[in-house]
Amino acid sequence: MSGSLRKTRASTRTFDLLRVESEAEIKRLFEQSDSPVLDGATLDGSLANSAAKLLHRLRRRFNSVFNDMTDKATARMLERVSGNAGSDVKRSLEEIGEGVSIKVNMLSPAVKETIQAKGYEAANLIKRVPSEYLDDIGAEVMRSISSGRGLQDLQPALEKRGVKVRNWAKNVALDQTRKVYDGISTAAMKSAGIRKFEWVHSGGSNDPREHHMLPWPAGLNGGIFDIDAPPIIDKRTGERGTPGQLPYCRCTKRPIIDFGDDDE
How far apart, in whole angstroms, are the C-alpha atoms of residue 34 and residue 106? 63
Q: Where are the domains of the chain?
A: 2-194, 195-264
Q: Pick from 194, 164, 172: which is nearest to 66 by CA?
A: 172
Burial class (CB in 10 A: 0-12, 13-18, 19+), 32: exposed
For residue 2, is pLDDT > 80?
no
Using alpha carbons, list the distances in angstroms from residue 57 to 104, 109, 131, 145.
48, 42, 12, 19
pTM of the model: 0.76
Average pLDDT, the chain: 85
Is pLDDT above 80 for 245? yes
Q: Check whether 13 has a pLDDT greater than 90.
A: no
Task: Give the Å distances, CA to CA, from 118 to 75, 128, 217, 257.
Answer: 11, 16, 30, 26
Mean pLDDT of 187-198: 92
Amino acid letter, 224: I
pLDDT tens column, 98-121:
555 677 888 888 889 999 998 898
- 34 SS3 class: coil
Q: pLDDT digits over 75-85, tens only?
A: 888 889 999 99
pLDDT recorded at residue 198 = 96
